[in-house]
A and B are shown apart, each in its own frame.
Chain A
Amino acid sequence: MEEIYAKFVSQKISKTRWRPLPPGSLQTAETFATGSWDNEENYVSLWSIGDFENLDSDGGFEGDHQLLCDIRHHGDIMDLQFFDQERIVTASSTGCVTVFLHHPNNQTLSVNQQWTTAHYHTGPSSPSYSSAPCTGIVCNNPEIVTVGEDGRINLFRADHKEAVRTIDNADSSTLHAVTFLRTPEILTVNSIGQLKIWDFRQQGNEPSQILSLTGDRVPLHCVDRHPNQQHVVATGGQDGMLSIWDVRQGTMPVSLLKAHEAENRVSLLSMLECNGTISAHHSLSFPGSSSSPASASPMWEVHFHPSNPDHLFTCSEDGSLWHWDASTDVPEKSLLFHQGGRTSTFLSHSISNQANVHQSVISSWLSTDPAKDRIEITSLLPSRTLSVNSLDVLGPCLVCGTDAEAIYVTRHLFS
């Protein structure tokens, strides 16, 4: 990971998203959007990593991203998604959901559509309303689903003024993120460690399924679905744990990977779902890593690589950005962790040695045998400082944004 470019932008970045490529396009990603938070004035901005190849000889410009345009945003940007090539949807801490339209001709952004009170609290006795932060959105043209601290789920349709469907009190705690499972089903994660599946065909405010880690109640912050295997879901939690779930069966995650914890420390817990018992528990720590129990760091985002889903990316409050590689075409059976050119190898010792009958059809993420399971982890950022709040991957390109007001971009993920 030699070529990662940083740019300081004078605003804390809460979200970064690549603009989707037109279907069938052979281009690589060129434009991304960012949202800021906790500033006196927050902005939605569009950036171009452009084609600066011709400037290479002069030195320096390649990879540096340039601001195309920006627009003021009321409140913190809690989530941001591209609706299509031109439209961006944002979730605001004021409870407002806004659709912005990009005009490529004169490089400007304008408000296209707005639902100002998508999320709100109702007082205990008075009929007064106060806004509640909208925490997550997911788009699937023409639908937009939003979730918020008010525990409400909204289903909007572009060009419809009112919500198509609203589930009040869908959750007793704060909903942190949402994603589509398969239309019309969605997945939400909440602040008491539950993963819920909702089916918009069903009436009422009950989820069709609740999955959770037994007893822990550790908040879950992010969720992503495997792009090809719709039953495989990854979540990231307050304790920095990466959980892989098979939503077809059981109510517990298939494997738990302890990630963003203390510095230089990775541990792997693998659970066997078939009989519900823990088959292996490996706590792997690096030589020289501090033995004091540092408090874990929340994992803010998890993303499967859209076209190469054996690769997964996570970022955390502790300022780290990790690339998890579970591709199976590797000879050693181990858990690897790279940082700054140093590679450490750990062999995980398996208690059970079951043969996996349908190895080929089972996703590499669901492999339940730790001995066959090998995950290589690479830390992508050179030094850790403040939180990495968001990341996005598209093709060979990755973008992430931090509380240290920097945006990092690389165009050569797999080189």
Chain B
Amino acid sequence: MEELDGEPTVTLIPGVNSKKHQMCFDWGPGEMLVCETSFNKKEKSEVVPSCPFIYIIRKDVDVYSQVLRKLFNESHGIFVGLQRIEEELTGKSRKSQLVRVSKNYRSVIRACMEEMHQVAIAAKDPASGRQFSSQVSILSAMELIWNLCEILFIEVAPAGPLLLHLLDWVRLHVCEVDSLSADVLGSENPSKHESFWNLPGNTQTLTELELKWQHWHEECERYLQDCTFASNPHLESLCKIMLGDEAALLEQKELLSNWYHFLVTRLLYSNPTVKPIDLQYYAQSSLDLFLGGESSPEPLDNILMAAFEFDIHQVIKECSIALSNWWFVAHLTDLLDHCKLLQSHNLYFGSNMRECLLLEYASGLFAHPSLWQLGVDYFDYCPELGRVSLELHIERIPLNTEQKALKVLRICEQRQMTEQVRSICKILAMKAVRNNRLGSALSWSIRAKDAAFATLVSDRFLRDYCERGCFSDLDLIDNLGPAMMLSDRLTFLGKYREFHRVYGEKRFADAASLLLSLMTSQIAPRSFWMTLLTDALPLLEQKQVIFSAEQTYELMQCLEDLTSGRPVHGGPDTQQCQDDDIETTKVEMLRLALARNLARAIVREGSLEGF
């Protein structure tokens, strides 16, 4: 294990007194269950009524923010789009695509920040107002970091344009944080430099620019040495500033809201063509100078410093520790991975950093009651552990309506997750049985191709038929089609219903041979044979002969098989006796009917042959 990056923070759960009671807990995917136990260390006789609550501790609270939900949903589309960027794209077109994606992410953060700002202003009580405001500053910091990463890692601006980008960066964010410093930037920086920086269509080379700048710089220096501005201290300090004099700049510290503002200002006046590699030196010294040993750097300072040092892993690590959600690191890391900046780095536990962070983020989404659909696509783009994670999470989604179930099923079917498809259909089939919705239950088991369950439901149908004497759910049973072949019992149910239909249509010969084949082919369960034979009775009693002699022999065979195999009861149970009596009468009637039919059939067949 690696060493800890910091002391774990202690979270107090309101209402729980861990000093009085022993606690117990259990981990969930995105949350934890905590409750008090009645276990007591010291065997005290007093029975303290223990707390009746189970607490759900969520670690990723940001998922529950209404405003941040917009960030999650909108960035999901950008993420999916990024994954589909053609791998073949190389060089300039690829880079410009990636920069565009990065800008899209940032504009979503900004939109979210603006909305959060509105919410903070409109907040009714000061406490929640403060909470929203702190969210605004977190979002602002996220965008600040993202923007710097975009300049340094994605845009990879070379010397010259680099400072231009940094100027925009500071201008954008300092305005954001403090409107006063916006004025400062507006008044202090531009005028002279606007034209100076106006690289006319890149016709000017970097060297030419450097030469010109050097010339201008020397001129300024000369003015200062000549004491041209000595009469006016303001003008003199202005001149010093333009020469990049650190002390003069720091005198105006209150106008520079922070060290990176100081850094960019200083670079602008002292080294406008700063190379990316030299940035870290300037950054470090600017930070040291600006803080002046009075205060220690904050997490944001460390993150920015790591970026200036081009240490991507440190940036991501610091962000992971400092920020309260996984959204930022997951999306930034994924984007940087698409820039091929993270290839070499593998973690000690299987998947790489990009995947690890995406999994963490997606699991957080799945822990949320509604955002789980977003999580699916993130898992899809985790080649190593995404699929198993999805399999584990998808089964745990509560299915309160069939429509939701269909949505979950589609996700599984698209990914050929047969085991999950089967399990979801089975859950729905079970639910339908519990609700006495046999038709639905049968539909779901057919969909799951679950033969055992189809048999169970078919038995229920047959039992209901025996009790009521009529079939329910004919709209389904009459339209089973090839699905009938799923299980023998289902086939029997379908065919038996077909017998009734054919019989109802007075196609007696067809009905008779169907009935017989149900028994001789062994599709009909033994327990049902008596019912089938009883169904044969009216056919045997018809005026014309329906069962042929051979068919009658077969029927007799069936009847004998059934009666001979039956154990003889000698118990005193009167109910049993009565049932036996009915049974015996039935058998007698059948034997009589069969014998009579046989006689008629032999006569008829004999006379036909005679012709």
Residue numbers of A with Cβ under 8 A of B are 8, 10-12, 37-40, 76, 78, 93, 121-124, 130, 132-133, 135, 149-151, 169, 171-174, 191-192, 194, 196, 210, 212, 214-217, 219, 238, 294-295, 297-298, 317, 383, 385-387, 403-406
Contacts and interface: CB of A to CB of B under 8 A. Distances in A.
A210 B478 CA distance: 12
B212 interface: no
A123 B434 contact: yes
Given A238-B406, A405-B73, A38 B66 contact: no
Contact of A317 (B66, B407, B446): B407
In this complex, the member of B73, B403, B481 whose beta carbon has the largest number of chain A beta carbons within 10 angstroms is B403
Contact of B373 (A122, A196, A403): A403
Given A78-B403, A121-B435, A124-B433, A404 B66 contact: no
A123 B436 contact: yes
Contacts of B413: 295
Nearest to B473: A172
Contact of A123 (B67, B373, B435): B435
22 contacts: A10-B69, A11-B370, A12-B373, A39-B369, A40-B370, A78-B403, A123-B435, A130-B435, A133-B402, A149-B437, A150-B437, A169-B472, A173-B475, A191-B443, A192-B443, A194-B475, A196-B475, A295-B414, A317-B407, A386-B76, A387-B407, A406-B73
B72 to A, nearest CB: 9
B77 interface: yes
Contacts of A214: 481
Contacts of B74: 8
In this complex, the member of A38, A122, A298 whose beta carbon has the largest number of chain B beta carbons within 10 angstroms is A38
Interface string B472-503: 11111001011100000000000000000000
B400 interface: yes
Interface string B459-483: 0000000000000111110010111
Contacts of A172: 437-440, 472-476
In this complex, the member of B369, B407, B475 whose beta carbon has the largest number of chain A beta carbons within 10 angstroms is B475
Contacts of A406: 73
A149 B401 contact: yes
Nearest to A120: B435
Given A124-B433, A192-B479, A295-B413, A173 B77 contact: no
Given A172-B474, A217-B483, 8 more contacts: A93-B400, A121-B435, A133-B401, A149-B440, A171-B475, A172-B475, A174-B440, A298-B410
B410 A124 contact: no
Given A40-B370, A172-B475, A121 B436 contact: yes
B419 to A, nearest CB: 17
A123 B437 CA distance: 9
A403 B375 CA distance: 12
Interface in B40-72: 66-67, 69-70
B375 to A, nearest CB: 11
B476 A192 contact: yes
B180 interface: no
Nearest to B397: A38
Q: Closest 5 CB pairs between A and B?
A: A172-B439, A172-B473, A121-B435, A8-B70, A215-B481
Nearest to A219: B406
B436 A294 contact: no
A317 B81 CA distance: 18
Nearest to A38: B370
Contact of B436 (A8, A93, A122, A194): A122
Nearest to B413: A295
Contacts of A173: 439-440, 443, 475-476
Contacts of B437: 121, 149-151, 172
